[in-house]
C-alpha cells in the first residue's frame, strides 16, 4: 500500500512533499536553514547576493563566497493560487500559494516560496513579508508569511 493510501485509511495527513537533497553546492544553505537561519552566497568579488546557490557567482563568475545571513525581510513579487495538485506530493497541501518574493537586501534577489498563514484574498504584490520555517522531512524549508510588524 502506498504512503498516500495509508494516510487515507488512517485519516491522517502525511507530508508527501519531496524534500531537497543537499549537494556540495547547496549543503551550507540547508544546514543554516536547519538552524533557523536564511544564509545566501555573497560574492567575495562583487559583493552581490545570489539565489539559488550556484558553483560560481552568476553576476561576475567569481568562485569565492562568504555565506551570509540575510534579514528575511521581503516583499511579495508575484503569487499564484494552486487549488489542484500537479504533483502527487502536494495532494495534501492544496490549496496553497506559490509565490515569488524579493528580499530586502538587493533588487532582483528573488526566491520561490509558499506564503504561509495568509488568506489568499488578502495577498497583494508589494506587501511586506517575513521569514519563517516549515519542517519537511528532517529538514527545514525557508518560507514566508505576511509581516506581523510592518517596516
Partner 1 sequence: MSALSRELAIVGVGYSELSRAGSPEPKAISLVAAKEALADAGLSGTDVDGIFEYRFGPESPGAQDMARLIGAPDLAAFGDLMPTNPSGLGAALAGAMAVASGVCETVLVFRCMTREGGYQGGVSGFSDPVLGGQQFETPYGDSGGILMTMALHKQRWMYEYGRTEEDFGHIAVNARRWSALNPRAVLRDPVTMEDYLSSRSIVAPLRLLDCDYPINGAVATVITTAERAKDLRQRPVLIDSMTYATGSRVDWNFTDDFLYGGTRDCADRLWSRSSVTASDVDVAQLYDGFTQVTVSWIEAMGFCGLGEFGDWVEGGDKIGPGGALPVNTGGGQLAEGRLHAISLLNEAVVQLRGQAEARQVPDAQVGLVACGLYPQCGAMVLKGG
Residue 27 interacts with which of partner 1, Zn ion, none, CB < 5 to 8 Å by class: none
Q: How far is the CB of 141 from partner 1 (least distance, A)?
A: 6
Which residues within the stretch 16-45 sit at the binding site for Zn ion (CB under 5 A)? 43, 45
Nearest one of 91, 89, 93 to 16, comparing CA atoms: 89
Q: Which three cell numbers stand for residue 87?
A: 504533483
Q: What mask of x and - would describe binding to Zn ion in positions 40 to 79, judged by CB under 5 A?
A: ---x-xx----------x-xx-x-----------------
Rounded-to-integer distance, Cα 114 and Cα 95, Å? 11
Q: Which three cell numbers stand for residue 121?
A: 484574498
3-class DSSP assignment, residue 69 = strand
Q: How far is the CB of 75 from Zn ion (least distance, A)?
A: 24
Q: What mask of x and - would describe binding to partner 1 in positions 9 to 48, judged by CB under 8 A?
A: -------xxxxxxxx--x---x------------------
Residue 20 interacts with which of Zn ion, partner 1, none, CB < 5 to 8 Å by class: partner 1
Residue 18 interacts with which of Zn ion, partner 1, none, CB < 5 to 8 Å by class: partner 1
The partner residues of 141 in beta bridges, in order of sequence, read: 134
Rounded-to-integer distance, Cα 5 and Cα 16, Å? 12
3-class DSSP assignment, residue 132 = strand
For the chain, the distance separating the N- and C-terminal CA atoms, rounded to the nearest angstrom, is: 50
Interacting residues toward Zn ion by CB under 5 A: 43, 45-46, 57, 59-60, 62
Amino acid at each position: 500500500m502506498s504512503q498516500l493510501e495509508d494516510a487515507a485509511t488512517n485519516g491522517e495527513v502525511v507530508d508527501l512533499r519531496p524534500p531537497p537533497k543537499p549537494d556540495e553546492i547547496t549543503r551550507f544553505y540547508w544546514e543554516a536553514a536547519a538552524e533557523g537561519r536564511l544564509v545566501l552566497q555573497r560574492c567575495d568579488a562583487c559583493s552581490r547576493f545570489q539565489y539559488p546557490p550556484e558553483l560560481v557567482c552568476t553576476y561576475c563568475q567569481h568562485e569565492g563566497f562568504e555565506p551570509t545571513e540575510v534579514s528575511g525581510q521581503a516583499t511579495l513579487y508575484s503569487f499564484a493560487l494552486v487549488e489542484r495538485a500537479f504533483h502527487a506530493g502536494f495532494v495534501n497541501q492544496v490549496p496553497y500559494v506559490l509565490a515569488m518574493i524579493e528580499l530586502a537586501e538587493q533588487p532582483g534577489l528573488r526566491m520561490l516560496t509558499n506564503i504561509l498563514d495568509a488568506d489568499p484574498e488578502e495577498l497583494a504584490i508589494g506587501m511586506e513579508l517575513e521569514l519563517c520555517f516549515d519542517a519537511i522531512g528532517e529538514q527545514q524549508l525557508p518560507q514566508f508569511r505576511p509581516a506581523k510588524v510592518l517596516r
